[in-house]
Structure 1
Amino acid sequence: MAKETMSAASVGPSVGPGAGASATAGEQRRYVGTIVGVMLAVAALDQAVKQLVLAWVNPGEPIHIIGDWFRLLLVFNPGAAFSMGSDATWVFTTIQLVFVVGSLIAAPRITSPWEAAGLALVAGGALGNLTDRLIREPSFWFGHVVDYISVGSFAVFNLADAAITVGVGLFIVALFFGDGRE
């Protein structure tokens, strides 16, 4: 019975006055809670790992985990991915804040568990990096993001960046391979 209600709610409005409205509202509340919970968990885990790295790793001195291919390398990134836009820190801070708030506003409209997971991971990563930009040196709103994962010759990144990447992938897959809803 629950599966039939979920399918009817995800396809569209049911026939008859008020039919399926409570199932849809309940399902949306569930995703809102999931999105907020995952978002906060990702941001908290990201900040906890960054604190550990800050305590154990010296900036610019790699710690080799798997030869020279995988290592911890503490760097402070004022820009976006690949340190692009290092003079526009405030722009990235603003974009991340707008995205986090926008995700919370959009959350009640998410009806797919995969879209919810994708949005939650991206928002959690954005919140983790936003926290850096608000609390880290050199100053509020202009703080540098703590990056520490170095793989091969690829850019140095962090857990928040990884969550954003995986979240975008999940969200795109959900959009292309969803259940045909509009």
Structure 2
Amino acid sequence: MSSEQSSPRQSSAEPADHGEPAEQAPETPADTAGTPAADGSSRAPRKLLALLFGVAAVALGLDVLTKVVVVAELEGEPPVEVLGGLLYLDVLRNPGAAFSLATGMTWLLALLAIAVVGVIVWLAPKLRSPGWAVGLGLVLGGACGNLADRLFRAPGPLQGHVVDFLSVLAPGGAVWPVFNIADSCIVVGGVLVVLLSLLGRDYDGTVHRKKKAAESES
């Protein structure tokens, strides 16, 4: 009789044991739900990294190629009129920043360019915005283009003069300072990043206006 009584007790205890996993069941969907999100977020940065560095590579390649061509073909020659006088190809060596600003501070500008490149590379894995990827890619490519001149052109490392060759409306920068492809990329990329910031779109994909609208509705 004692053995017969013990078996019902054990069978009645089994549902209690099965009840414990039932109480923990809500944790399982939460864990599994987090896995696809993590996978999705890990895939998105790869695409954005490819976009950022792809844009930077194209910008850098265009800048280097155009500088090599104009130095080889046009340096020391009279300015070449392009687009009916809208643009002139006039090769100058610039010791300063974009548009011939801060001349005589080449070494400092080189260090600043290195810092900019470092910041963009550090920020790249955090990107979740295609617009920011394009903007920072243009800035990165342009910064590397001018930095290459400062590192490898005469008169020496960190003192090299940047090759400028685009002059608007008149030769010699009479209307607008002479610039190059790298300068153009830096300006366009910087303007794009500023516009995105003004629109409330952060590099991490956050849209501030939506946040404010949601808070006001609540």
Please say whether Structure 1 and Structure 2 have the same fold, judged by a TM-score greater than 0.5. yes
Match of 1:26 among 43, 53, 68: 43
1:174 partner letter: L
Tell me if 1:157 matches 2:184.
no
CA-based RMSD of the aligned residues comes to: 1.9
Q: Which segments of structure 1 move beyond 3 Å, counting only runs of 4 or more?
A: 66-69
Aligned equivalent of 2:207 = 180
d(CA) in 1 for partners of 2:154, 2:127:
36
Aligned pairs, how many? Answer: 168
Deviates more, 1:167-176 or 1:101-110: 167-176
Q: State the secondary structure of the residue aligned to 1:174.
A: helix
Deviation at 1:102, TM superposition (A): 1.4
Tell me if 1:56 matches 2:73.
yes
d(CA) in 1 for partners of 2:117, 2:87:
31
1:123 partner letter: L
Is there any run of 5+ residues in structure 1 with no aligned partner, and where?
Answer: 1-14
Q: Retained in 1: the 8 A contact 2:74–2:90? A: yes
d(CA) in 2 for partners of 1:76, 1:150:
13
2:105 partner letter: A
Match of 1:170 among 182, 188, 192: 192
Tell me if 1:118 matches 2:135.
yes
Superposed, 1:87-126 pairs within 5 Å as 87-126=104-143
The two structures have a TM-score, normalised by structure 2, of 0.72
Q: Retained in 2: the 8 A contact 1:59–1:73? A: no
2:187 partner letter: T
Q: State the secondary structure of the residue aligned to 2:93.
A: strand
d(CA) in 1 for partners of 2:162, 2:138:
18
d(CA) in 2 for partners of 1:41, 1:132:
17
d(CA) in 1 for partners of 2:55, 2:78:
32
Is there any run of 5+ residues in structure 2 with no aligned partner, and where?
Answer: 1-28, 170-174, 212-218
Match of 1:129 among 146, 154, 178: 146
Deviation at 1:77, TM superposition (A): 0.4
Match of 2:101 among 84, 88, 104: 84
| Bigger relative contact order, structure 1 or 2 (CA pairs below 8 A, ≥6 apart) | 1
1:36 partner letter: F
Deviates more, 1:151-160 or 1:26-35: 26-35
Q: Tell me the percent identity.
A: 35
Q: Retained in 1: the 8 A contact 2:117–2:143? A: yes
Deviation at 1:60, TM superposition (A): 6.7
User: CA 1:116/1:16 → structure 2, altered by over 3 Å: closer, same or farther?
Assistant: farther
The structure whose Rg is larger is 2
